[in-house]
Amino acid sequence: MAFLLLLADIESKSWVKQLKIHEPQLDLRLWPNTGPVEEIDFVLAWRPPPGELARYPKLRCIASLGAGVDHLLRDPDLPAAVPVTRVVDASMAQSMSEYVVMAVLNWCRHMPRYARQQQERRWQVHVPRQASSTGVGIMGLGQLGGAAARHLVALGFDVAGWSTGPKQIAGVRSYIGEAQLGAFLGRTDILVCLLPLTERTRGILDARLFAGVRPGAYLINCARGEHLQEADLLAALDSGQLAGACLDVFVTEPLPPEHPFWRHPSITVTPHTASLTHPRAVVPRLIENYRRVMAGLAPLDQIDRLRGY
Ligand code: NAP
Ligand code: GLV
């Protein structure tokens, strides 16, 4: 009945503390010191090495430490019959909403330009973009995209979302599937990507998509770096079809020092920080799931393995 914490590049101290607070009797193992592999029932993982999760023959649940599960599903040896769960948490949705609102307002109030002007001690006014006449299009209207949409509606933006199935969110126009993608893009001044990374969404932020948004649009990608065709973004910025981008996620993280995004005058880079998972917030739900699994019940917040999210 052991619980394995398998965090490849995240500090485990605060996870251990919270897990012990909420389940003092927990038989907690810290990877790579797993003990006998057949004793592991439950694993909380972030970016495990490929093949690693196939080593535990009695595994009953694989919990993603994040909202995304692409870091697990990319493993061809991930045990097929073991349920996979992800983080669904209100504080995460709040934090993502704050990031999206920050990036949208920064753009509408010309903050990147003013930052450059300040370096030059140059006093020049740019008329703010008005919320009511700014079309924000959110790709992915799930836990995070839906929350961000509500915040932007409250600020008076003209908000639409794109998803696989229809959504009913007050003040948000819902577009679905490939057939409505063109109409969704055609009303978009600020494009926000909050899709999961799946085989259908990998590379979706490409030249074809950028050609469909309103000229001079702004891109905010806070989902995964692999959604974006990086060369297509640079070309769209060169041509003026896109006027700027705020990027939180990258194909290679940390973003290598020589990467052109670092010094591009129209790109804002943040280090995958839009919405972090806080152990204090999510451990109660993890322990609830651990107890459910130990009692023979299905865990909550399971993903659909076929859909990929
Ligand atoms: P979610 O609740 O599963 O929502 C995903 C949304 O995307 C749903 O609305 C879904 O449509 C839509 N979707 C999926 N595939 C689609 C497709 N092919 N075409 C159109 N719409 C599609 O996920 P979430 O919790 O909001 O998280 C989204 C992603 O954010 C995560 O997967 C992760 O990669 C990223 N993330 C980033 C950070 C960060 O700090 N940068 C933090 C957390 C998460 P339906 O609702 O119709 O199924
Ligand atoms: C972070 O990127 C997450 O998936 O939670």
3-class DSSP state for residue 275? coil
Q: What is the mean pLDDT of the segment spanning 257-263?
A: 98
Q: Is the pLDDT of residue 27 over 90?
A: yes
Beta strands in the chain (DSSP E): 2-7, 27-30, 40-46, 61-64, 84-85, 135-139, 158-163, 172-176, 190-193, 217-221, 242-247, 267-269
Residue type, 142: G
* pLDDT tens digits along 131-153: 999 999 999 999 999 999 999 99
pLDDT at 8: 86
Asked whether 277 lines ligand 2 (CB < 6 A), one says yes
Asked whether 165 lines ligand 1 (CB < 6 A), one says yes
Q: Is the pLDDT of residue 9 over 90?
A: no
In the annotation, is 224 catalytic? yes
Q: Which of 9-13, 83-87, 187-191, 214-218 has the lowest mean pLDDT?
A: 9-13
CB within 8 Å of 128: residues ≥ 6 apart: 108, 109, 110
Please state, in angstroms and rounded to a whole number, the distance separating the CA atoms of residues 99 and 196.
17
152: which 2 tokens? Answer: 């932007």
Please state, in angstroms and rounded to a whole number, the distance separating the CA atoms of residues 214 and 145.
21
207 within 8 A of 233, measured Cβ to Cβ = no
Q: Is the pLDDT of residue 234 over 90?
A: yes
254 C-alpha to ligand 2 centroid (Å): 15
Q: What is the mean pLDDT of the segment spanning 68-78?
A: 98
Q: Is the pLDDT of residue 305 over 90?
A: yes
Please state, in angstroms and rounded to a whole number, the distance separating the CA atoms of residues 249 and 274.
9
Q: What is the mean pLDDT of the segment spanning 219-232?
A: 98
Q: How far apart, in Å, are the Cα atoms of 23 and each of 95, 129, 173, 291? A: 27, 51, 44, 10
Q: Is the pLDDT of residue 112 over 90?
A: yes
Full-model pTM: 0.98
Q: What are the backbone dihedrals phi and psi of residue 219, each rounded to the nearest 5 degrees, phi first? A: -110, 135
Q: Is the pLDDT of residue 1 over 90?
A: no
User: Of residues 272, 278, 292, 305, which has the active-site annotation?
Assistant: 272
Q: What is the mean pLDDT of the segment spanning 65-77?
A: 98
Nearest-atom index, ligand 2, CA of 68: 4
* Of 8, 141, 5, residue with least CA distance to 75: 8
> If pLDDT is split at 50, 70 and 90, which confidence band does 88 have?
very high
- Altogether, the residues listed in the chain come to a count of 309
3-class DSSP state for residue 219? strand
In the annotation, is 272 catalytic? yes
Q: Is the pLDDT of residue 110 over 90?
A: yes
Buried (b) or exposed (e) across 145-181, using 16+ Cβ within 10 A? bbbbbebbbeeebbbbbbbeeebebeebbbbbeeeeb
3-class DSSP state for residue 135? strand
245 within 8 A of 220, measured Cβ to Cβ = yes
Q: What is the mean pLDDT of the segment spanning 290-302?
A: 98
User: Of residues 29, 86, 151, 224, which has the active-site annotation?
Assistant: 224
159: which 2 tokens? Answer: 């908000």
CA atoms lying within 13 Å on the CB side of residue 89: 24
Q: Is the pLDDT of residue 58 over 90?
A: yes
Mean pLDDT of the chain: 98
**Ligand 2 atom 3: residue of nearest CA:** 66
Q: Dihedral sign, CA of 211, 199, 278, 170?
A: positive
